[in-house]
Amino acid sequence: MNELKSLYEQYVVPTYGRFDVAFERGAGSQLWDFDGKRYVDMGCGIAVCSLGHAHPELSDALSAQARKLVHVSNLYYTEPQATLAKQLVDLTGVGKMFFCNSGAEANEGLYKLARRFGHESGRFEIITAHNSFHGRTMAGIAATGQEKVKIGFGPVMEGFTQVPFNDLEAVEKALSPATVAVMIEGVQGEGGITPATSEYLLGLRKFCDVNNLLLLMDAVQCGFFRTGNWQSYQTILSRDEVKSFQPDAISMAKSLGGGFPIGSFWITEKHADLLGPGSHGTTFGGTPLACAMASKIIEIVERDNLAGNAVAMGSLLKDELNVIAEAHPNVINTVRGLGLMIGVELQNDIPDFQNSETPASIQMVNKLHDACLILIPAGTNVVRFLPALNLTQADAEEALGIFRDTVAELAGKK
């Protein structure tokens, strides 16, 4: 561990405050470090390893494709890209896909789509939400509604404005002659697991229609069956409401590749040809290896009804977390989320965490590492459960047991 740390110190740009853990291997929702210590993984990357670690069918799909064709570029047609595009359109709605390599890059495509859409009428401004997260590129940090990602990187790119989340009136007030789009996450992830309300989604759709704006959704974290449906709006809206709701474009990444880097965005049919030949591109995007992996994951999710598993395991986790929260209100403030995207908001005055400047979320995650549970922090006081879609009941219960004991220990010291 110390050897590894000193290599990082010497050779890796120190943008991350890494946790003191180095993993050697994984299987399903379990990880092992170099000392052979076993952890239950409720983070799966950061909502990335959608089928857990070292899934045998994914390893097979990856190596079979690697033996056939890894990469040829987007100058040519490839079968895996076409197959995946059709699968994603079948899931999302009539429209078309563009493939890239990450979430920030997928969002870049949405900004460019919006600017193309508004070009002739001189419109370019995109309204986004406070506490949102849209990635670390220059436009990504301009779109993101959190000051901390922008500090030291000014001037911030123009053309973005932020308003409070779930506040329709604030969006209406922000409308200017330059406005061309509204972009939100269906469930804010990095912001601390905050779902959009159904009124907000339906209101935004209507507002965008009336004012000829694009409604863009960043589904990089909350999409891909995580909330129990393909997209979060299908979970938030009722069966009837969802019939009259569709975004104009959706960005995807994280869980899409199950750990293999891939990003993508979907554009509804009406606007799908706005980005014509030469207008956008990428060397690696849609490479056969990534697409074969993503295709296989979708096939397995559908075959094994993992959306149903996300609902079942999500409610098991959330119900029990609520029981733990009720038993220890001096440690846990609230539990919120949808499906397998759950945030636990900690209290601000947990005695154990008062002796350090380190945010409570980070101290909690460290404490859970000692107890062999992996969670992901969000902001200063939220820890997230973002497990694999194929999470088993046994792994969920083991995670809950560790979490319960840790919270009880923290409560005991009050």
Binding test (CB under 6 A) with ligand PLP, winner from 162, 179, 194, 221: 221
What are the backbone angles phi and psi of residue 160, rounded to the nearest 5°?
A: -130, 145
Q: Shortest distance, CB of residue 143 to ligand PLP, whole angstroms?
A: 9
User: Using CB atoms within 10 A of its CB, is residue 371 exposed (0-12), middle (13-18) or buried (19+)?
Assistant: middle
Q: Are strands 187-188 and 125-129 parallel, antiparallel or unpaired?
A: unpaired
Instruction: Give the position of tokens 């901390």.
Output: 148
Nearest to 334 by CA among 324, 326, 344, 342: 344
User: Using CB atoms within 10 A of its CB, is residue 234 exposed (0-12), middle (13-18) or buried (19+)?
Assistant: middle
With contacts defined by CB under 6 A, name the span among 101-109, 164-172, 271-279, 336-344 that binds ligand PLP. Answer: 101-109
Q: Shortest distance, CB of residue 291 to ligand PLP, whole angstroms?
A: 17
Binding residue count for ligand PLP, defined by CB under 6 A: 15
With contacts defined by CB under 6 A, name the span among 4-12, 215-223, 351-359, 367-375 that binds ligand PLP. Answer: 215-223
Does position 78 interact with ligand PLP (CB under 6 A)? The reply is no
216 vs 407 by CB, closer to ligand PLP? 216
188 vs 363 by CB, closer to ligand PLP? 188
Nearest to 182 by CA among 141, 131, 217, 220: 217
Binding test (CB under 6 A) with ligand PLP, winner from 84, 141, 202, 220: 220
Q: Tokens representing 231? A: 């997209």
Q: Shortest distance, CB of residue 67 to ligand PLP, whole angstroms?
A: 27
State the Cα–Cα distance between residues 312 and 228, nearest whole angstrom: 9
- Convert residues 162-191 into a mask of x (bound to ligand PLP by CB under 6 A) and - (unbound): -----------------------x---xx-
Does position 50 interact with ligand PLP (CB under 6 A)? The reply is no
State the Cα–Cα distance between residues 362 and 379, nearest whole angstrom: 9
Q: Shortest distance, CB of residue 32 to ligand PLP, whole angstroms?
A: 25
Q: Shortest distance, CB of residue 334 to ligand PLP, whole angstroms?
A: 21
Amino acid at 168: L
What angle, 0 to 180 degrees and rounded to 10, lies between the N-to-C axes of helices 288-303 and 306-327?
70
43 vs 103 by CB, closer to ligand PLP? 103
State the Cα–Cα distance between residues 388 and 55, nearest whole angstrom: 11
Residues of span 188-207 touching ligand PLP by CB under 6 A: 189-190
Q: What pairs with residue 344 in β-bridges?
A: 335, 383
State the Cα–Cα distance between residues 359 and 379, nearest whole angstrom: 8
Q: Shortest distance, CB of residue 10 to ligand PLP, whole angstroms?
A: 25
53 vs 254 by CB, closer to ligand PLP? 254
Among the residues of 2-55, which ranges form H helices?
2-11, 44-47
Binding test (CB under 6 A) with ligand PLP, winner from 62, 139, 171, 253: 253
Residues of span 110-149 touching ligand PLP by CB under 6 A: 133-135
Q: Shortest distance, CB of residue 390 to ligand PLP, whole angstroms?
A: 21
Binding test (CB under 6 A) with ligand PLP, winner from 88, 100, 104, 204: 104
Q: Shortest distance, CB of residue 122 to ligand PLP, whole angstroms?
A: 28
What are the backbone angles phi and psi of residue 117, rounded to the nearest 5°?
A: -60, -40
State the Cα–Cα distance between residues 54 and 61, nearest whole angstrom: 12
Q: Shortest distance, CB of residue 158 to ligand PLP, whole angstroms?
A: 20
What's the farthest any 2 CA atoms get from each other in the chain?
64
135 vs 259 by CB, closer to ligand PLP? 135
149 vs 364 by CB, closer to ligand PLP? 149
Are 406 and 368 spatial neighbours (Cβ–Cβ below 8 Å)? yes
What is the torsional sign of CA 148, 336, 216, 200?
negative
Residue facing ligand PLP at closest CB distance: 103
Does position 108 interact with ligand PLP (CB under 6 A)? The reply is no
Q: Shortest distance, CB of residue 323 to ligand PLP, whole angstroms?
A: 28
What angle, 0 to 180 degrees and rounded to 10, lies between the N-to-C axes of helices 56-68 and 288-303?
150
With contacts defined by CB under 6 A, name the span among 19-27, 96-104, 109-117, 350-358 that binds ligand PLP. Answer: 96-104
State the Cα–Cα distance between residues 360 and 71, nearest whole angstrom: 44
26 vs 263 by CB, closer to ligand PLP? 263
What are the backbone angles phi and psi of residue 398, rounded to the nearest 5°?
A: -65, -45
**Chain contacts with ligand PLP (rule: CB under 6 A):** 102-104, 107, 133-135, 185, 189-190, 218, 220-221, 253-254
